[in-house]
Amino acid sequence: MKSYNRIRRNGIYRSRSGMILGVCKGLAEHFDFSVFWTRVVALIFLFVAGFLPAIGLYLLSALLMKPEPVIPIKNPGEKEFYDSYTYSRQGAVQRLKRRYENLQRRIQRMEHIVTSAEYDWENRLNNG
């Protein structure tokens, strides 16, 4: 859990368990601040700045902040994949597809070696 919190400090995420889009709770968790006081500051900003600017800023921040990962991030590789997925899902799918194709080619080469006639003769000579 400590590594997750350390990595989490590298970015601000919207909380999945927040009241309205999770912006205030995400900011409070990132800055290690009370959620209650973060919401109080947001309400004060709503009354001081007016309804439209405050709601506009809130919605803009909700659009710009990535949602909190469902599964905790354990290492930088997972964080990189999550970031690439949230920025470009198509890119993440392409990356997974390339990785699968590379593994498929490796398996095919191994199958070819194991099922070749030379392998069978070497196996019989070494065992017999």
How far is it, in rounded angstroms, from Cα 127 to Cα 109? 24
Compare 72 and 102 and report the one with higher pLDDT: 102
Q: Which helix (H) or strand (E) holds 67?
A: strand 66-67
What does the pLDDT look like over 42-98, one tens digit per residue?
Answer: 889 889 988 888 888 888 888 888 777 667 777 777 777 777 766 666 776 777 788
Give yes or no for residue 2 having a pLDDT over 60.
no
Quick one: pLDDT band at residue 99, thresholds 50, 70, 90?
A: confident
Rounded to two decimals, the pTM is 0.49
| pLDDT of res. 119 | 64
Which two three-digit tokens encode residue 72? 């905790």
Quick one: pLDDT band at residue 3, thresholds 50, 70, 90?
A: very low
Give yes or no for residue 22 having a pLDDT over 80.
yes
**List of residues 6+ apart from 24 with CB closer than 8 A:** 18, 35, 38, 39, 42
| pLDDT of res. 40 | 92
Count other C-beta atoms under 10 Å from residue 78's C-beta: 15
Give the DSSP letter string of 87-125: H-HHHHHHHHHHHHHHHHHHHHHHHHHHHSHHHHHHHHH
Q: What angle do CA 107, 110, 112 make, to 5 degrees?
A: 110
